Amino acid sequence: MEFKVSRAVFFDFDGTLVDSAKDLVECANLQRLKRNKEPLPFEYLKNFVSRGTPAMLKEAIGLLKEDPDYDLIREEYLTDYRERLTQNIRFFDGIPEMLEDLDNKRIPWGIVTNKPSNLTIPLLNFLNLTHRVISSTYGDSAPKSKPHPDTIFLACDQASVNPSNCIYVGDDQRDIEAGKAAGMKTIILTYGYCPEPEMIPEWGADFIAHTPAEITVGIDKLFK
């Protein structure tokens, strides 16, 4: 393969670039309300946003993937989410400036998320990111999503960049596992939705960023 880009940075989406927790937590609690259960605290449920729909439904109503009604309830949950997809989503403070810094330095960047394409693409359009990313892949872009590296490799193929010259940035352990499996340097964030922040140092990321401004510091350091 001919590499046309010398280096790039790839980001997870929810809990890394954007704060989407409010809408997702409200939809999880709606499932509880349908079962006459009191809503769970936002500060508790938000910790599972980065781990996707299965984790949210397990924590909210004890639903497991093996349960016979899992697919039906999952679709109910996602339908509720689609209806309020852009209602409360926002960039974390400092993210627009961090991305602008990458653009100014002419460092290409893209998105690799486990969020399905039919939910992510409308958000990329809403946030005016579609034409800024060098590539983007989703949870349904490859047979296996993170922590497997398949979607990261696909994003690199789309960008014509060697994974070994790239950095992956995320807020969950599986982000670091996927980035390392792809041969990338990795940056873990502490401001995202990790339910076990005390475990972060054990995940073996190459840099720990506590704020979006520190992502810039990490990128500069890892690209030296």
What is the per-residue pLDDT across 129-156, written as a single tens digit (0 to 9) for each?
999 999 999 999 999 999 999 999 999 9
Under 8 Å between Cβ of 115 and 8: no
What local confidence, expressed as pLDDT, does residue 197 receive?
84
- Cα distance between residue 224 and residue 222, in whole Å: 6
Which residue in 159, 168, 91, 85 sits closest to 128, CA to CA? 91
Pinpoint the alpha helices (H) of 50-94.
Answer: 52-61, 70-83
pLDDT tens for each residue of 64-108? 999 999 999 999 999 999 999 999 999 999 999 999 999 999 999
pTM: 0.93
Catalytic residues: 12, 14
pLDDT band at residue 25 using 50, 70 and 90 as cut-offs: very high
Given a cut of 80, whether residue 1 has pLDDT beyond it is no
CB atoms within 10 A of CB 71: 10
Contact 215, 68 (CB under 8 A): no
Average pLDDT over residues 31-55: 93
